[in-house]
A and B are shown apart, each in its own frame.
Chain A
């Protein structure tokens, strides 16, 4: 059983599984958002977690001090994801029956005094937050390792946990993409959301039906691409950034045969059977054409499909192009992951001479 989990946790399997689970979560969101589902999952999860904690390797990685926030995060995000879907399901059912969302009922539109309603809530939140922090601080010591030594890197060397999603991206992308361009795109894309999402519905209440496209794409980025990668980077990456299952001992000598090949090597050596051309632009021509086609050729082509035609009629050309470029950049990560697993593809464009690898 543990062996099986160890194997399935490998991103090659767990990433598609996560995507499929995500799809079904949204497809049957009313079932997912039911209280029955929540109780069942909680009742199953607690004993499973306790059994897992009995495993020494799993215990070690869970109780490592800087990993505790991630456990808290997983619990909190699971709960709040369920909770928001739960509220969305209630509101959707109400709207299907011709009623207004809960937030729009007259008794909730009523105005209340700030004192005591809000002030007391805040006071309670402050006290709860203080107690929570102090208990956490007493129970768990903050980590402190040996003094800094610039000549010897610990193995594995990990970034702070909230950046581990980015560090995990570094397995598939060069630093200039994973560390600079994609984070920049995330920030710009987040700021752009209110300007490209012109759907007037779903403002100020939980819902899913009214804004399916917006919610499912945001949740995909947030749950599958961001949090899933953080969990992989934290719990499943051991020495040498090699994959280790949750119950696997971190053996420093675990050998992983990994020989990744650039697209240009596929083309010239394996497919055409010739030597690599000396002109670097000719050498990488296929990759460059593919990348440019992906970024600049696909948007006009996709604009012809019926789905996006409808979108364009709603939001206009400029918003469409911004949206589609953001989406293509977001999906470049899963595409690159799949290419790496399926074909051991290293770079689509490999120009180390210019530090330009894609």
Chain B
């Protein structure tokens, strides 16, 4: 019991002890306690196979995807303070985000982050394939991952419309016109011409899947609002749920894959 440092003094206060219920993680007991007792860290197992922490094996692409998703959530919420999803304001608000706001790079972080997330998700999947990690018992989690990949692309795609510039609406016009060509469900797709009784057209541009996506016959203000809601609320919620399932199953299927 030599001289006590200020750190030791802080560690002994009631406030510190009420937050951290264990000593510093420098022995086995406390290392277990810090991971098991923290709501964020308890996603992890307390101990794990060495290959599961090696960057050479995991590339950390799954972790980075999740990190970028969180970064996008934070920057996205910040952007929502200034952005109004109407044809009249949307474009000007995007300019205001650059010109009238201190540190006007929030939109840049959000946009580049979106691109980065697509890349990291692809590379994560690439790694999982190359190590054969989709094999039993992880088949189901691979499927969840594929759905998450699709949702990542949809998130990015719905966000692409929001700046409401030429780049945005024409990219979405091209993309959403593919929905028009859905067999049987789109008015420009195969099968729609057959679903016709006399003069009554069953699948028309007013009731097909593209109309549901755009809330109109072309990319207009209702589409902007619809994409905004999909982008900011609906898809992130679904992604959040699926990420929870994905992480849970990584643990339940035996952690990060390793040779059997």
Are any A and B Cβ atoms less than 8 Å apart in their complex?
Answer: yes
Residues of A within 8 A of B (CB): 66, 68-69, 72-73, 76-77, 80, 84, 87-88, 100-101, 103-104, 107-119, 121-122, 125-126, 129-130, 132-134, 136-138, 140-150, 152-154, 157-163, 166-167, 174-176, 178-181, 187, 190-191, 193-195, 197, 199-207, 211, 214-215, 218, 222, 351, 353-356
- Cβ contacts under 8 Å, B258 to chain A: 103-104, 108-109, 204-205
> Which of B7-15, B114-122, B237-245 contacts the other chain?
B114-122
The A-contacting residues of B in range 99-138, CB under 8 angstroms, are: 105, 107-109, 111-113, 115-116, 118-119, 122-123, 126-127, 129-136, 138
- Cβ contacts under 8 Å, B173 to chain A: 153, 157
Q: How far is the CB of A220 from chain B (nearest CB, A)?
A: 12
Instruction: Please state if A218 and B119 are interface contacts (CB–CB under 8 Å).
Output: no
Asked whether B183 is an interface residue with its Cβ less than 8 Å from the other chain, the reply is yes
Instruction: Please state if A180 and B182 are interface contacts (CB–CB under 8 Å).
Output: yes
Instruction: Please state if B130 and A88 are interface contacts (CB–CB under 8 Å).
Output: yes
- Bound-complex Cα distance A138 to B190 (A): 47
Q: How far is the CB of B83 from chain A (nearest CB, A)?
A: 13
- Bound-complex Cα distance A126 to B65 (A): 10
Known: A77-B123, A195-B139. A175 touches B259 (CB 8 A): no
Instruction: Please state if A133 and B112 are interface contacts (CB–CB under 8 Å).
Output: yes
Instruction: Please state if A115 and B41 are interface contacts (CB–CB under 8 Å).
Output: yes
Known: A111-B47, A118-B48. A203 touches B132 (CB 8 A): yes
- Cβ contacts under 8 Å, A215 to chain B: 129-130
- Bound-complex Cα distance A46 to B195 (A): 58
Set A140, A163, A166: member contacting B112, Cβ < 8 A: A140
CB nearest neighbor in A for B259: A104
B52, B113, B153: residue with the most chain A Cβ atoms closer than 10 Å: B52
Set B25, B55, B71, B91: member contacting A148, Cβ < 8 A: B91
- Cβ contacts under 8 Å, A104 to chain B: 258-259
Instruction: Please state if B126 and A222 are interface contacts (CB–CB under 8 Å).
Output: yes
Asked whether B207 is an interface residue with its Cβ less than 8 Å from the other chain, the reply is no
The A-contacting residues of B in range 37-72, CB under 8 angstroms, are: 41, 44-57, 59-60, 63-64, 67-68, 71
Instruction: Please state if A205 and B193 are interface contacts (CB–CB under 8 Å).
Output: no
B98, B219, B259: residue with the most chain A Cβ atoms closer than 10 Å: B259
Instruction: Please state if B170 and A153 are interface contacts (CB–CB under 8 Å).
Output: yes
Instruction: Please state if B259 and A134 are interface contacts (CB–CB under 8 Å).
Output: no
Task: Other than A116-B31, A203-B260, give 6 A-B pairs with Cβ distance below 8 A.
Answer: A119-B35, A133-B109, A145-B165, A157-B174, A355-B191, A356-B191
Set B31, B167, B190: member contacting A145, Cβ < 8 A: B167
Instruction: Please state if A114 and B45 are interface contacts (CB–CB under 8 Å).
Output: yes
Instruction: Please state if A103 and B57 are interface contacts (CB–CB under 8 Å).
Output: yes
Asked whether B77 is an interface residue with its Cβ less than 8 Å from the other chain, the reply is no
- Bound-complex Cα distance A73 to B166 (A): 25
Instruction: Please state if B189 and A355 are interface contacts (CB–CB under 8 Å).
Output: yes
Instruction: Please state if A121 and B127 are interface contacts (CB–CB under 8 Å).
Output: no
Instruction: Please state if B174 and A167 are interface contacts (CB–CB under 8 Å).
Output: yes
A sample of 28 cross-chain residue pairs with beta-carbon separation below 8 angstroms, ordered by A number, consists of: A77-B126, A84-B126, A104-B259, A108-B258, A109-B50, A114-B41, A114-B45, A114-B47, A118-B48, A125-B67, A133-B109, A148-B164, A154-B170, A163-B153, A163-B175, A174-B181, A175-B188, A190-B146, A190-B149, A191-B142, A194-B135, A204-B51, A204-B132, A205-B131, A205-B132, A205-B259, A215-B129, A351-B190
